Amino acid sequence: MSDGRTVLTDAMRARVKDTLPVPGKATESRRHGGGHQAVSRGGALAGPDGTTVARSSVAVRQLQRRDVAVLQPPLPHARIRTAALSFFIAACGLVLCVQPASAEDTPERIASASAVDATSTGTVPYVSVGMSVIRSEGSRFKNSGNRPLYGGGQFDAGRVSGPAVQLAAGVRLPSGLRTQLEFSVARSISWQGNTNYSRSGTRQPSEATLDTLQLLMVGLYDFPGWQFVPGRALRPFLGIGVGITDYRLSDYVQRFPYPDNPDGYLRRGPGGAIPYTGLPGGSGQNFTWMLTAGVGLPLQKNTYLDFGYRFTNAGWIGTDAGNLDLVRYNESGMQREFDAITIDETSAEFRTHSLHVSLRFEL
């Protein structure tokens, strides 16, 4: 046991040595918790209260934190992906564990549902309710008029992400075709971007809030299914939809926390207030088309769980013409005043990828 501890201690010492700051490096600030810690030229850490901590103690604590694998809070889009994955796993567990609701809904009858669907006569109406996790392709807001916001080669690049809910009503035809009218709502989904104005620093974060309403007429085709597990037959499907998207863009702000010259035009205000530019909101309606693919799994005789992927092209979103809201500070820390600065529209493409899950009830 003592030998084992000696070997472990040597290994830890070697790793501690690797983590020590290099003497002679310039002082830098590090955010840790709610305060800042400065790294001195000697390599020691000075905490917010002015105390100095030995390099080896800090390195050991870093090593311990790394060995126990303390997890950092996930980013917003990571939380969305984690929630979607958890929902998917829970839904799969429900599907595999659910029991037939009655003597008629035996596993054999459910497994043969695909064949019955393909040969049944008449149309079968249905309704469905679902949820999607949306993430747009990377896009750029650019000028769309003669009074530009952005100079040559300048833009705001980012993407939209967030959840949406869907309601649909349709009919299933004997041939395997389905057609449905679908209404989708996405409230307060987030635009996160970064501008590239000159002399404003490499990090110029932007954010905005996007609300959308979408109405689509969708056609789908259910292919012959195959038995996934005993009593459960999967049916893949493909679909296409066309319709209209109504959007509203609001609370659009571009911030400049780290300009090239911290004491210049983009200096911070009292209490470290960050200068920013507020843009006009925008709204509009666009022609929209959608492609989808997925699988449907029968839970009971007339209930299906559908999983799918969707690509949607909803045209363009943008800001209206209007006045900028400039917040800048002078040397005394007072907010500067500006005459009205009017710009024309800016716009960006709005194409999204989404994962979709829904429950379909045949009536």
Q: Which residue has the tokens 């020590």?
A: 20
Domains with residue ranges and CATH for the chain: 32-70 (no CATH), 76-362 (2.40.160.20)
Residues 232-256: tens digit of each pLDDT: 778 999 999 999 999 999 999 999 9
* Amino acid sitting at position 231: G
Q: What is the pLDDT of residue 227?
A: 79
* pLDDT of residue 319 exceeding 50: yes
Q: Do 358 and 164 contact (CB within 8 A), yes or no? A: no
Residue 284 CA: distances (Å) to CA of 166, 212, 268: 20, 10, 35
3-state secondary structure of 19: helix
Q: What is the pLDDT of residue 300?
A: 86
Residues 40-49: tens digit of each pLDDT: 333 333 333 3
- DSSP for 83-106, please give it: HHHHHHHHHHHHHHH---SSSSS-
Q: What tokens appear for 11 in the block?
A: 């290994």
More confident residue, 100 or 275: 275
Residue 360 makes CB contacts below 8 A (sequence gap 6+) with 126, 127, 128, 296, 303, 304, 305, 306
Q: pLDDT grade, residue 59 (50/70/90)?
A: very low
Q: What is the pLDDT of residue 261?
A: 93
Q: pLDDT grade, residue 230 (50/70/90)?
A: confident
Strand ordering across the sheet containing 35-39? 28-32, 35-39, 45-46, 52-53
Q: What is the pLDDT of residue 105?
A: 44
Asked which of 220-234, 287-301, 314-328 is least confident by mean pLDDT, the reply is 220-234
Q: What is the pLDDT of residue 146?
A: 87
Q: What is the CA radius of gyration of the chain?
A: 28
* pLDDT of residue 130 exceeding 70: yes
The mean pLDDT value for 218-240 works out to: 87
3-state secondary structure of 34: coil
3-state secondary structure of 274: coil
Residues 80-124: tens digit of each pLDDT: 455 545 544 544 444 344 333 344 444 444 444 444 444 455 899
Cα 186 to chain centroid distance, Å, stands at 12
* pLDDT of residue 67 exceeding 60: no
Residues 4-42: tens digit of each pLDDT: 444 444 544 444 444 333 433 333 333 333 333 333 333
Residues 323-349: tens digit of each pLDDT: 999 999 999 999 999 999 999 999 999
Q: Do 272 and 297 contact (CB within 8 A), yes or no? A: no
